[in-house]
Amino acid sequence: MSATSNYASEHETDEGRVFTVTGGDWDTIVAGTDPINDERIIVNMGPQHPSTHGVLRLILELEGETVREARSVVGYLHTGIEKNLEYRNWVQGSTFVTRMDYLAPIFNETAYALAVEKLLGITDDITERATTIRVLMMELNRISSHLVWLATTGMELGAISIMLYGFREREYILDIFETITGLRMNHAYVRPGGVAQDVPDEAIVKIREFLKMMPKKLKEYEDLLSGQPIWTERTKGVAVLDVTGCVALGITGPVLRSAGLAWDLRKTMPYCGYETYEFDVPTHPDGDVWGRYLVRLAEIRESMKLVEQALDRLRPGPVMVADRKIAWPAQLAIGVDGMGNSLEHVAKIMGQSMESLIHHFKLVTEGFRVPPGQVYVAIEAPRGELGVHAVSDGGTRPYRVHYREPSFVNLQALPAMAEGGLIADVIAGGASLDPVMGGCDR
């Protein structure tokens, strides 16, 4: 192959000829060196493939139906959210990060808020009610995220009924979120200092109704899938990744726990008072798609236990820190059109002292200042460890915010799962990772 190739440069080493690949057209690259090149084909699965969890491209080298080499290509959904945070104040950042992993917006917001609060030094000042609401919302969000995983994985493996049922039950949770935050997704509800507004009584009623209904639905899912021979054939012993492989690749979340390691940050590195809640960390020894299915169903049950405990702990009280230099918008009153502040709320603000009005204006337009420093805060999101590295230079905007996003990290496992297996199992293995490309490509 010529060293002036459009696709790769080459050089000789003690190990032989090495190519530096810069493109995806591998058939051109390997044609001159691989003696059985003609017996293999290169297949692009994606980036607009109906059986992927978003805009993911997989380059597969196939020998018959066996995958000999697999590579993941990401970046097609890149939104530049982390960079955008540098041009918005600290509170406005919540409206950006909630859009990354769009199936787990509450987790994106909570991790960001915890990082900002740590920089501000107000972690211990967050009210008990605000912390309990955060736990309540996160666990409801974990259930809704796992339901989407169950629905989409079922669809990809041919179980259309479970897709309909999973999305049906998720609607209950989205209705609850809309009652509490005003939005079904992308809430910007968890803010530095607390939450944007309190949980109304009607939402509590809806949550308790959901908790009564959901156990029966989970039993229906298991009756539909667990004993179904096609489902077990497509999941048991498929896309195996043992605990050694998970640890080597930095894999966390249900994928790691399905390989037998009970690593859950809510237990091992508690936050938001999780150490005071009673719940178990489900595991499975086999590290296959079947194990990931069982672990996620078990996690839904544990999250329901946590939601019930959080409801019982909700005591009257403020949902934002008392410091008026941070607490915005602590008492939000929405207008009759559902948008913006109500006229009564605006009149109340303007009817106070001139100094109060000036302070409110500066807080909303400029934002509060955060002392210089850097922190890393990690929480247990539905897909694994979601970490935030936040850096402040002492101004009203972040100097840098970078997320350790589990979808991005977990996708590293795809070649280890796929190579040597059948092309049909690439779908099952990829789906079992539960990647959300909005988080991966943020």
For each of the domains in the chain, give its residue range(s) and CATH number, in order of start: 8-73 (no CATH), 81-323+368-440 (1.10.645.10)
Stretch 243-251: mean pLDDT, rounded?
92
Q: Going edge to edge, which strands form the sheet with 384-392?
A: 373-381, 384-392, 400-404
Instruction: Tell if the pTM clears 0.75, that is, is over it.
Output: yes
Burial 408-437 (b: 16+ CB within 10 A, else e): bbbbebbbbbbeebebebbbbbbbbbbbbb
pLDDT computed for residue 326 by the predictor: 81
pLDDT computed for residue 19 by the predictor: 64
Tell me the one-letter amino acid at 327.
A
Give the pLDDT band (50/70/90) at residue 357: confident
Residue 4: pLDDT over 70 = no
For 54, 81, 132, 203, 313, the CA distances from 308, given in Å and listed in that order, are 33, 34, 11, 13, 9
pLDDT computed for residue 168 by the predictor: 92
Tell me the one-letter amino acid at 196.
A
pLDDT computed for residue 110 by the predictor: 95
CA 306 – CA 341 distance, rounded (Å): 33
Lowest mean pLDDT among 61-65, 262-266, 405-409: 61-65
Stretch 406-412: mean pLDDT, rounded?
92
Give the pLDDT band (50/70/90) at residue 144: very high
Residue 58: pLDDT over 90 = no
Give the pLDDT band (50/70/90) at residue 3: very low
What's the token pair of residue 302?
A: 């544990």
pLDDT computed for residue 368 by the predictor: 86
Give the pLDDT band (50/70/90) at residue 213: very high
CA 14 – CA 3 distance, rounded (Å): 18
- 301 vs 78, residue with greater confidence: 301
Residue 334: pLDDT over 60 = no
Task: Work out the mean pLDDT of the chain and round it to a whole number.
Answer: 86
Q: What is the DSSP letter of 422?
A: B
Q: What are phi and psi of 189, to 5 degrees?
A: -90, -45
pLDDT computed for residue 1 by the predictor: 45
Residue 297: pLDDT over 90 = yes
* Secondary structure percentages of the chain, helix, strand, coil, to 5: 50, 15, 40
